[in-house]
A and B are shown apart, each in its own frame.
Chain A
Amino acid sequence: MVTADDLRGQVRDFLAGHDPAAMDRLDFLRARFDAGLAWVHYPAGLGGQGLPRDLQPAVDAAFAAAGAPTNRPERNGIGLGMAAPTILAYGTNEQQQRWLRPLWTGEEIWCQLFSEPGAGSDLAGLATRAVLDASGEPWVVNGQKVWTSSAHLARWALLLARSDPDVPKHQGLTYFACNMTAPGVEVRPLRQITGEAEFNEVFLTDVPIPDADRIGPAGEGWKVATATLMNERVSIGGGAVPREGGMIGSAARAWRQHPERRTPGLQDRLLRLWADAEVARLAGARLRQQLAAGQPGPEGSAAKLVFARLNQEISEFEVELAGPDGLRYDDWSMRRPEGANFYGRGPGYRYLRARGNSIEGGTSEILRNIIAERVLGLPPETRVDTGVPWKDLPR
C-alpha cells in the first residue's frame, strides 16, 4: 500500500530530475502531471495513481516545500472542482486524455454555461438549443447563458443545452464541452451590485460543436449536470479553515480594535455569530472526517446554507460596527477580478458580495427543497410540468 512517505519519496525523485528553478513553469507542471503526482486520486495516465484522496495534501506540501510552481488552482476553480470530476465520470477515454492535462496545469481555464435568464432555479427548463446538423456533424447551438464566471478567460465551457424539445424537460438535455474560441461565442461582462463584474453573459449564435465534444449520451445531459452540481456545492461549502478563519475573523478583529464602537446589542449579536461560525467550522471539519472515513453524508448541503446565512449576517454586523466608515465604499468602478473574494476589501464590499452567497450555486430555497426531499424524504411539491413535453410548458 502506498503511504504519504512513499509519495514524498516520489516527489523527491521527481525533483531530482526536474529542477523547478531551472525549468519552464508549464513544462514542470506537465511533467508533474505525467509522473502521476498532479492529483494522486485520479487514475494512472491521467495525472494520478488511483490512490485515496487524503494522500494528496502530502504531495502538495512536498512540492511547496521545494519551492515548486503551483497550477494556481484559484484561477481555475470550475475546471478543477467541477469540470474535471465530470469529465472523469462521464468523459470518454479520448476526452479525458485531451482535456485533463491542460486543465490541471491551468493552460486551459474552464467555465460553466448552465444558467439562463429564463432558467435559474428551474435549470432543467433551459432553452438554449442544440441541433444536430442533418449530415450528422456538427451540433449547432443557439441561446443565451448568464452568471458565467471566468467566461472571458476560459478556453472551454461545460454546456448544458436542449437537444429535444418534444420530451419532458429533464429528458431532452445534452451535455457538451464548448470551445469558447469557436465562432458565434460572444462574452459580455455582467456588472453586479458590488460595481465589478466577476460574471458574464454568454451569447451563443450558431456555434458549431463537434459530436466528439459531447459528454455522455444525447438526452442524458441532466444526469451529467447533476454530478457537476453536487461537486459545486461541496466546493462552495467547505475547505478547512482555522478558528476565526472566515468572515467572522474580520468582525472579531474590528471588535477588538474599536472599543468605542461597542454596544451591548452588538456584543450579543457578535457572540451569537462567533458561536455559530465556530460551530459551522466544526461541522465542516466533521464533514471532511466523514468523507475521509468513506462515509459521505448529505451534510454538505447544510454547510452551504449555513455558510451563506453566516456570511450575510456577519457582514451586516460589520457594516454597522464600522459606524461612519460603514457609510463609505472603497470603489464602485467597473473591474474584472480574476475570481471571487468573499472576505476581501472593506465591510461594505463584503456586505454586498455576501448577498450573492444565498443565490449562487443553488439558492438557499432550492437547497432547502433538496434537503427536504432527498435527505428527509418529504414528498415533492405538486408540479404542473411532470410528463409535459418542454415545448408545451406554459411560459
Chain B
Amino acid sequence: MSAAADATVAGPAAGGLPDLLYGEAETELRAAVRALLADRCGWPEVLARTETAQTYDPGAWQVLAAGLGCAGLLIPEGSGGAGASYREAAVVAEETGRAVAPVPFLGSAVVATAALLAAGDEELLTALAAGTATAALAVPFVAAPGSRPEPTVRLGVPSPAPEHGDPGYRLTGTVTGVADALPADVLIVPSDGVPYGLYAVRAADARMTPVVSLDMTRQLADLTFDDAPGRRLATGNAAEQAVAAALTAGAAVLAAEQLGTAERCLEITVAYLKERRQFARPIGSFQALKHRAADLWVGVTQARAAARYAAACLAAGDPDTPVAVALAKAACSDVAAAAAQECVQLHGGIGFTWEHPAHLYLKRAKSASIGFGTADRHRASLAGLVDLPAP
C-alpha cells in the first residue's frame, strides 16, 4: 500500500472528527447577518440592482463588513480583526448564499484576506478589518485550489525612473473573469517575472471592465494593468503559498455559501408545494413531487456535514484540509445547482419568469458550481489525495 493510501486511514479520518455542529456564537452571528440581509438585501432589491450600473451593494457591504465586523472575522485581534475562524466565516457565507447577497464577502473577507494573512501584510489587513478598504485577489473565478493559475500579469521595467520611496514595481497584463473585483479598492495581483510575486495595486490604477455575467449578483470583471504601480507583498514560494491558501479558503467558504443557497431553494420550494393547488389538492401531496423534495432535503443534510467538515479542518489547520475542501466543494456544488434547478421546475411557469427569484438562485448556484473548481475537478483531485489513480 502506498503512503497516500496509509494517509486515508490515519489522523482525523480514523474517527476523531472535529465538531461539525454550530456553536452558540456561530448561531448568534448567523442571526445578526440574517437580520441585516433581510433588511438590506431582500430579493426584489437584489433583482433590481442586477440591472443597474452598480451591481454590488456598497451600503449593505459597509454594514456587514464594518458594522457587524464580518470583514475582519479571519483577521487577528492585534490587527483590528475579530480573531475568529473559518467556522464563523462559513456561517456568514451560508447567509450571503441564502440571500444571494451582492456583497464581496467571499472575495474580500475570505479570499483576499487569506492571501494577505499568508503573505503577512499588516497594513492592508488592518484596513480590511476596519472596513476602510475592500480587496480582491486578481485570479479568474474559475481557478481551482492546487491548480496554480498561470499569471497573466508580468512585472515590467520600472517606468518612469523610481521616485523617492517608490521601489518602482510596474505591472502589465490582463486577468479575466474575476469575482468581487468591481467593489474592491485594492487588487492583490499574482505576477509573473523573476521571481513570481504578489503585488497590491490600487484599483484606481487598473482598468476594470464589467463582464455581462451569468450571475449578476456576483458580477465578474476583466482587469487590465497597463504599467500599473504595485507594492510587493511576497515573492517566490511565499507568494505561491499565499495564492494557494486563498484558493483553498475560497473553495471551502464558497461551498458553505452554496449550502445556504441550496437550503433557501428547498425552503421556498417546499412552501410553494404546500400552497399551490392543482387538481383540487395541494401539489405537495403528489408523491412524485414530495419525493423530489425529500431527495433535496437529504442532499442538503449531506452537504451540510461536508461544508462543516471543510470549515473545521481549515480552522484547525488540519492535514486533511485538501480532502475536506474537495469533498465540500464537490458535494455543495452539485446540491446547490440541483436545488436551484428543482426550485425552477417545481414552481412551474412562475419559476421561469423574471419576476420570481428562482432565477437569481439558479444563476448564483450554477456560477458558484464553476467558481474555484467544478465538482468534477475537485473529485479528480481526490484521485491523488486518497490514492484512487487513473487508468
Judge whether A377 is part of the interface by a CB distance below 8 angstroms: yes
* Known contacts A271-B388, A302-B302, A243 near B285 by CB under 8 Å: no
Q: Which chain B residues border A378 with CB–CB below 8 Å?
A: 270, 273-274, 282, 284-285, 290, 293
In whole Å, how far is B388's beta carbon from the nearest beta carbon of chain A?
6
- The size bracket of the interface on B is 35 or more
- Give the number of A-B contacts (CB < 8 Å): 143
Chain-A contact segment, one of B31-39, B191-199, B304-312: B304-312
- Give the nearest-CB partner of A284 in chain B: B305
Q: Which positions 1-23 of chain B face chain A at CB distance < 8 Å?
A: 1-2, 5, 8-9, 13-15, 17, 19-21
Q: Which chain A residues border B391 with CB–CB below 8 Å?
A: 259, 262-264, 267
- Give the nearest-CB partner of A262 in chain B: B391
Q: Which positions 261-317 of chain B face chain A at CB distance < 8 Å?
A: 270, 273-274, 281-282, 284-287, 290-291, 293-295, 297-298, 301-306, 308-309
Q: Which chain B residues border A278 with CB–CB below 8 Å?
A: 323, 327
Q: Chain A contact residues: over half helix, strand or loop, or mixed?
A: helix
- Give the nearest-CB partner of B380 in chain A: A271
Q: Check if B274 sits within 8 Å of A377, measured CB to CB.
A: yes
Q: Which chain B residues border A283 with CB–CB below 8 Å?
A: 301-302, 304-306
Q: Check if A372 sits within 8 Å of B298, measured CB to CB.
A: no
Complex-state Cα separation, A293 to B21, whole angstroms: 9
Complex-state Cα separation, A376 to B298, whole angstroms: 11
Judge whether B202 is part of the interface by a CB distance below 8 angstroms: no
A265-295: CB near B (< 8 Å → 1, else 0) gives 0011011101110111011011001100101
Q: Check if B379 sits within 8 Å of A272, measured CB to CB.
A: yes
B80-97: CB near A (< 8 Å → 1, else 0) gives 000000000000000000
Judge whether A95 is part of the interface by a CB distance below 8 angstroms: no
Q: Check if A368 sits within 8 Å of B291, measured CB to CB.
A: yes
A236-247: CB near B (< 8 Å → 1, else 0) gives 000010111000
Q: Which chain B residues border A272 with CB–CB below 8 Å?
A: 379
Judge whether B331 is part of the interface by a CB distance below 8 angstroms: yes
- The size bracket of the interface on A is 35 or more
- Give the nearest-CB partner of A265 in chain B: B391
Q: Check if A372 sits within 8 Å of B274, measured CB to CB.
A: no
Q: Which positions 355-395 of chain A face chain B at CB distance < 8 Å?
A: 365, 367-369, 371-373, 375-382
* Known contacts A286-B305, A368-B294, A242 near B273 by CB under 8 Å: no
- Give the nearest-CB partner of B331 in chain A: A279
Q: Check if B8 sits within 8 Å of A279, measured CB to CB.
A: no
Q: Check if B17 sits within 8 Å of A282, measured CB to CB.
A: yes
Q: Check if A264 sits within 8 Å of B297, measured CB to CB.
A: no
In whole Å, how far is B244's beta carbon from the nearest beta carbon of chain A?
21
Complex-state Cα separation, A243 to B388, whole angstroms: 14
Q: Which chain A residues border B68 with CB–CB below 8 Å?
A: none
Q: Which chain A residues border B110 with CB–CB below 8 Å?
A: none
Q: Which chain A residues border B382 with CB–CB below 8 Å?
A: 271, 274-275
Judge whether B185 is part of the interface by a CB distance below 8 angstroms: no
Judge whether B386 is part of the interface by a CB distance below 8 angstroms: yes
Q: Check if A368 sits within 8 Å of B388, measured CB to CB.
A: no
Q: Check if B305 sits within 8 Å of A372, measured CB to CB.
A: no
Complex-state Cα separation, A369 to B292, whole angstroms: 10
Judge whether A306 is part of the interface by a CB distance below 8 angstroms: yes
Q: Check if A376 sits within 8 Å of B291, measured CB to CB.
A: no
In whole Å, how far is A387's beta carbon from the nearest beta carbon of chain B?
17
Q: Which chain B residues border A279 with CB–CB below 8 Å?
A: 302-303, 305-306, 327, 331
Q: Check if B331 sits within 8 Å of A262, measured CB to CB.
A: no
* Known contacts A289-B19, A290-B21, A372 near B330 by CB under 8 Å: no
A-B contact pairs, 11 of them (CB 8 A): A242-B15, A244-B8, A262-B391, A282-B327, A283-B301, A283-B306, A290-B21, A293-B21, A376-B297, A381-B286, A382-B281
